[in-house]
Amino acid sequence: MSALRKFLLLSGYTVLFCAILFLIVDLIVLPYKQGKFSKTVVMPELVGVDSAAAVSLVSSAGLQIGTIEYQYHDKFPKGHVSVQYPFAGHDIKLIRSVTLTLSQGKEYKDVPLLLGLTPLEAADTLQKLGLRLGDVTESYNPGDDQGIILSTNPHSGQRLARGSVVNVTISSNAVGNMAYVPSVINLTIEEGRRLFLLAGLHAGTVTPVADADMLPGTIMSQKIQPGAFIARGSSVDLTVSE
C-alpha cells in the first residue's frame, strides 16, 4: 500500500472518529451535564388534601401516581391523603411514581354485650375491638354475684370510634366496713389502682419483676386473692412487670 493511500485511509478514520466523538458530546455528554437526563422536581405536599387534588398536584409536577393504599385514620377525613412517599420537599426525578395512603376515616366498632362479665373479661373483650375499659362503678346488689357487670355506658350495640372508652357498673354485696377484693391481674397499674379505689381499697407496695412476655406496667399478681373480703381502706400489694 502506497504512503498516500495509507494517509488517506488514516485521515478517513480520523474524521469518522471525530464525527462520532462530536455526536457523543453533543447528544449525551452536554445534555447530561446540563441535567436534561436527571431533571428533578420538588415533591409537593399531599398529606391532608383529597385524592382528586393529590392526583392533580402529582400530574402537574411531572410525576405519576403509583401504589394507592387505604387505612383508617382518626385525623384525616375519608378520601384524604394520610401518608405520601416520597415525602414533601424532597428533590425527585421526573416521571417517578408516588405512593399514597388514603384515609378511610375513623374506624367505628359496636359496643359488645358485656353484661355478666367481670371488669377483667370486659377489658380483654374491649381491647380486641380497639376499645378501652373506662370507669368502673359499684352498685349494691346483694342478689347478684360479686363483681359482675350490671350495665354499660354506652349500651351494647352503639357505635364508637376506635380508642373510645366504655364505662361499666358492677355489682357489690359488701357489708358494713368490709370490701370485696376485685381481680386486677393483667390490668395496667393505673387501671388496678382505680379499680381498688372504687372497691374502697388501695394499691399497696408495687414490686417490679422483669417479664419479657408482658407489657411493662402490667399487674402480674396480687397478694390478696380476688373474692376475699377485707376491711375497707386496706391495701393490696401488687407485682408488676417491667
Exposure string for 173-187, b = 16+ CB within 10 A, e = fewer: bbeeeebbbbbbeeb
Whether the CB-CB separation of 235 and 202 falls below 8 Å is answered with: yes
Paired with 65 in beta bridges are 98
pLDDT band at 22 (very low <50, low <70, confident <90, very high): low
The pLDDT score that the predictor gives to residue 179 is 77
pLDDT band at 230 (very low <50, low <70, confident <90, very high): confident
Q: What percent of the chain has pLDDT over 70?
A: 80
pLDDT at residue 8 tops 70: no
The pLDDT score that the predictor gives to residue 181 is 84
Q: How far apart are CA 82 and CA 105, in angstroms?
A: 10
3-state class (DSSP) for residue 100? strand
pLDDT tens string 34-69: 555 557 889 999 999 999 999 999 999 889 999 999
pLDDT at residue 194 tops 60: yes
The pLDDT score that the predictor gives to residue 121 is 87
pLDDT at residue 137 tops 90: no
The pLDDT score that the predictor gives to residue 223 is 93
Q: How far is CA 129 from CA 158, 159, 161, in A?
A: 13, 12, 10
Strand 165-172 relative to strand 132-140, pairing: parallel
pLDDT tens string 204-225: 999 999 888 888 999 999 999 8
Amino acid at 130: G
Averaged pLDDT, 125-153: 82
